[in-house]
Amino acid sequence: MSEAVPAPGKSSPPPPRSALPLWLQRTLIGAAGVGLASFAGLALVPLFVDGESFRKPLQEALSRSLGRDVLLGRVELRTLGGIGLRTEQVRVVNREGTSELQARGAFVELALLPLLVRQIEVRNIEIDGAEIYLKRFRDGRWNVADLGDGQGAGEGPVNLAGTGLTLFDSTVRFDDEGVQPPQRFLASALSLKVQKFDRAELPINLQGRIVNALRDKPVATALTLDGTLAWPEDGDWQKLTGNLRILAEKFRPRYLSAYTRDIPSLAGLTGVFDLDFVWKGALGGESRLEGTCGTRLLRWDWPLLFGGRPWLARKVKVDTAMGVSSAGVRAERLRLSGEGFDADIQGSVRRPTGESPSPLLDLTVKTGFIDPFAVRANAPLQLVAEPWREWIATSKGSGRLRTELVVRGPLDTATTGGSFEFQNFKLSNPRLRSPIDALNGKLVLSEAALALEDLRVGAPGQQTTFTGTIARSREGAIDLKAVGTGGDLSIFSNLGGGRLGLLGGRGDVDLTFTGTLDAPQILGRAELAGALLLREGWVQPLKNLRGEVVFEATKITLANLEADLGNSSLSVDGVLEGYGSAAPNPQLTISSSGLDLKAAYPILVSDLFEGGFRRALRSTFRGLAGSAGVELKVDGALSTGTIDLRGATLALVGLAAPLEEAVGTVALGERGTTIEQLRAVAAGSPVNLKGTVGRDGEMQLSGNGTLNFPRALSLVPASSRDGVRATGSAPLSFALSGGPQARALQLSADLTAVSELTLGNLLRLAPARRLVLVSTLTPRSLLVGEASRLEGERTLNLAGSLGNLDAKSRRYDLRVRSDAPMTMAELGRYVVPFANLGATAGSTGNFDLALVGPVSAPGLRGNLELAGVNLPNLLGGIEDLSGPLNFDGNRVSTPGMNFRLGGAATGRIGGSLTDFRDPQLDFEARFDRLDLDELVASSAATEGGSLLKGLRGEGTVQIDRGLLSRLTFTDLSARARLDRGLWNLSQINLAAAGGRMTGALGADVRSTIPQFSGDLAFRGTDINLLATVLLGLGDQIFGEGDLQVKFQSQGADPDAFLGALSGNGTLLVQNGRLAANDLLGPLFGAAGGNFAGASGAVRTLTTGRFDRLEGSFNLAGGTATTENMLYLSPGIQLRPAGSLVLLDRTANLQVQGEFERTNGQNPPRRPGGGNGRSLFAFEVAGPVNQTGSLRDLRWVDEPAPIEERPASTP
């Protein structure tokens, strides 16, 4: 398009005026041109300058400055966005070759002018994607501790002083071996900006996510730090100082447990926290912390502060400003809130000083209205003083409470003051006898007292208001005022340490309390409207109490007081003068148409009726039950009126069982008590009673009834009925008269229907038909007069006493006598030990015995002279036993009693017997004749029928002549021991079979098959006699021998005994002979063959005579076996080995023999045997005493090997 030209003759309009002056326009244009040229120049510099040329000098410079090998990747020079060098890879390697840093890339910002002359001055280092490895060794050294060693600020090839550092998207791995167990932390997505490196002040901005990599389920904590740090000169990180804002999300203190375990306040802290704090100060010195902290669930186990239970809380938020130092913690502001609680805390907690382990508290705690029972389980109760702490821990209830508390002093003895404000509060505690249902008002707690400020108890309209003080002392002095209309009386149960009892119901009160909590003095009045009172020991409360009670300094007035008690109602009027004093004087009128006695008794013997009335009631009755009409007036110790019993139960002092179904009228008067006619049942026995009891204790009572045994024994205390057995019914009548120190007791009892009445398991009264007792009863004993007696076929006189009635250990001293002789059968009916003897004849010339000793285990005392007593169950039958018996408590003895045994045989026994219930004998017995075999057989054959079989004891026995195992003996002496069928004779010495026998024997006759054992030795005995009697081998072997045998066996007859015999022994017979002088001649003659030539020579030897037969043997099941028996005869020796059945004498023996030279004659020899030894062998199979049992005779070259043991000579 062509440019338009102005029309001729017309002038152009003037140009518009510029907004900027021309010179400024030119300056700006020039500056822009220079800027553009500079920018273009900087942009073109990388085209002409090779950045790689800086890599090597930069690597060397950084390596020398850091003291590490620094490896850089490709290096480019950049001029836009900052002048510096960009490298793609960076590695920093320590002297051990471990990589401490590697990154994807880095940008080193440099100063321009030094760069133009190829000098490096670093202004800032930016690292992207760095992976940094930090480590603290066990000795506390860090792997970067020597980083840049020897370089001061601004020194070295690269000046790092004042250099900034920026990290992007980096990670740091930190391994700490300086703690146990070792820890590892990983920081990821880390961004760090340090404006300049300066140990004195290090500005820092850090963001990242940190985890403890050694945890099972590591959770990242988002962490931000912004501020300055100052690193200590000695490198100890615990002395680090700074001014930092710390923000953390999901921080878990337990991940730092290796560092905090020795810090009591932090060791037990767990939870997941969000933090926003500003921290300023030094880690190891004074610092200040301000900010907020929150967690959804807190668990803080700090025993010094919270005691044995950790503090648990939910939705916790803390807003604080506090100072921390080595001396402790001081809270300028600490607002603590959580689920169910809200508190402001100010003050300090100082570390323990001196020897005290407890921190010092000086805290003020304020809360809003909270539910203390909801937060109590996790509240730090250790902060509360010990008495209050226990109250809080053991209380239950609901409502709201606001507190303002001041806690000062050592933790374990801190004092607590302040105030408690209650709102609709309900409280129960084991120390409160009655719970508090509704509490409103305020308590002010000071060091000296607890003040009640308009404290209201009860629902609106039914409140009792308390004002006054309670001293905080051990006595608990009180000064309280209680006023209320229709108020709940249960609150008063908690006064007086429980002495007032458990109160309930409603009433109008206007009362003043002074004195102490445990012993309050009450003044004022109370109008009861359906109240309740239950005191300790009462089985039923007084319910529906109506009437007026006026409390004065020395008395309590009851006006028109009515109440329900159990199943009855009553009314009381009068005055309790001197109540609670040492001289009470009740003035009361009590009326009831049908009083519940069981519920009333605990009330009547309580301190409400302190004085003579109470003492008289307790000294007469142990308890009451049933119903009675009562019209009673109590005037101090005097009680008058009537009690109409209607099927009542009376537990009288002195009787172990109560009187039941009591019906009758008891009149109380000034002179005493009159029982007009009382019918009752005593332990199942009907009784009737009437008479009077004076106020001075003078008594005139009579009665009758029927005692039904054994139930009637329960009337007597257990300590008095030990050993008493009774069965049957005994009608009786009695009269009791006299004063409390001595009362005459006369009793007559018909014993016709009583089948047993035994005292102490020793003395029987039941054979008598009537008991007449004329006695005196004192507080300590029952004295039985001489006129007392047992009447029956004969009359026995009674005298003595039952003593120690006022103690548990009652004692007998009761004498029973008769001047006429008494047969043994009659004696056995009265005296238990004689009943078990089974005597069939005999008598005692007198009967005079006393039952003496403790009721639980009495004995007998006295003397009896026995004559002509027959005991068929002892020793096979004892006759004409005569002699004295002396009784002394639990022991009976005799100097000697003579008897006959089996007709003409006689004996004598002396000694003693101790303990009638479990007799123990100590005896000396002598017999002119006694068959021990018969004694054992008869005792074993009777199952428990033999007296001897049931005895225990020890003694000596002498028998002039007797029989033992069919062997006749003389002059036996032994020590005997009896133990209920186990008999043992030791130290036996007797003459038998022409020699002596010694040793020991035992027999067990408890069963019908007796068992035996023994260890016997026979010396110089006639072997033929022993073999005949013991084995039935008569006239087979002759000579004098010694036999020692140890055995066990059993059996009721000799054959059974032999068949079961076991044991071992030795035998030695010298200078003996067999029944046949020629033992081997017939055997050699019958053999023929090789033995034909020797038979004649054998017959010339007297082989039936021998010098010695000796060896040992074993017994098992009635069979004897031997291995080393030796038979020596002139010219021959035999060695039998094998077995012999004792019962039928069947032998199974292998015999080895050898002929020997005798009297210069050569022995018989085997044909062709040369001059060698003449050895032969044969067997014995069959009866040992028959020649036909010898067989299989043969010559042998050498004897078969037989273990040869030298026979011991007994």
Q: Residue 1109: which residues within 8 A CB-CB, separation 6 or more?
A: 1037, 1039, 1041, 1067, 1068, 1069, 1070, 1072, 1125, 1126, 1127, 1128
Q: What is the pLDDT of residue 687?
A: 92
- Dist CA 1195 CA 993 (whole Å): 40
List beta partners, residue 134.
174
Q: Is 113 helix (H, G, I), strand (E, B) or coil?
A: helix
> Among the residues of 12-72, which ranges form H helices?
22-48, 55-66
Q: What is the DSSP letter of 370?
A: B
Contact 951, 978 (CB under 8 A): yes
Q: What is the pLDDT of residue 1088?
A: 67
Q: What is the largest CA-CA distance in the chain?
A: 207
Mean pLDDT, the chain cut into blocks of 10 residues (1210 residues total): 41 51 59 51 52 79 83 82 82 86 88 72 86 88 74 50 81 89 88 74 84 77 88 71 90 85 83 91 84 90 76 88 86 86 88 77 88 74 67 84 87 83 88 85 88 88 89 85 88 71 88 85 90 88 92 88 92 84 82 91 82 77 89 85 89 83 88 87 90 84 90 82 88 89 89 90 89 89 90 88 80 88 86 82 86 89 89 81 90 91 84 85 91 80 64 91 89 92 91 92 88 93 88 84 93 86 93 78 70 67 81 93 90 90 90 79 67 81 84 76 40
Element (H, E) at 264: helix 264-267
Tell how far CA 1082 is from the center of its chain: 86
Residue 961: both structure tokens together: 């002549």
Using DSSP, state whether 820 is helix, strand or coil: coil
Q: Are 297 and 314 in contact (CB under 8 A)?
A: yes
- Tell which residue, 667, 739, 669, has the closest CA to residue 698: 739
Cα distance between residue 450 and residue 391, in whole Å:
15
> Are 953 and 978 contacting, i.e. CB atoms less than 8 angstroms apart?
yes
- Residue 762 · residue 833 · CB < 8 Å: yes
Distances (CA, A) of 532 to 497, 580, 622, 978: 18, 21, 26, 73
Alpha helices in 1013-1090 (DSSP H): 1023-1026, 1054-1059, 1081-1087
Cβ 724 vs Cβ 754: under 8 Å: no
DSSP per position, 613-655:
HHHHHHHHEEEEESEEEEEEEEETTEEEEEEEEEEEEEEETT-
Beta strands 464-471 and 1132-1141 are unpaired
User: In the block, which residue shows the tokens 């017979």?
Assistant: 1069
DSSP 179-234: SSS-EEEEEEEEEEEES---TT-EEEEEEEEEEETTSSS---EEEEEEEEEE--TT
C-alpha to C-alpha distance for 949 and 798, rounded to whole angstroms: 36
- Residue 380: the pLDDT is 66
Residues 1124 and 1112: their CA atoms lie apart, in Å, by: 7
Using an 8 Å Cβ cutoff, are 782 and 775 in contact? yes
Residues, the chain, total? 1210
- Give, to the nearest 10 degrees, the angle between helix 612-620 and helix 597-604: 130
Handedness of CA 699, 704, 710, 711 (dihedral sign): negative
pLDDT at 2: 39
Strands 360-367 and 396-410: what pairing?
antiparallel
C-alpha distances out from residue 412 to 269, 355, 361, 388, 446, Å: 22, 13, 10, 12, 19
**131 contacts: CB under 8 Å, gap ≥ 6:** 101, 102, 103, 170, 171, 172, 173
Element counts in the chain: helices (H) and strands (E): 17, 69
Q: How far is CA 826 from the centre of its chain?
A: 57
pTM across the whole model: 0.58
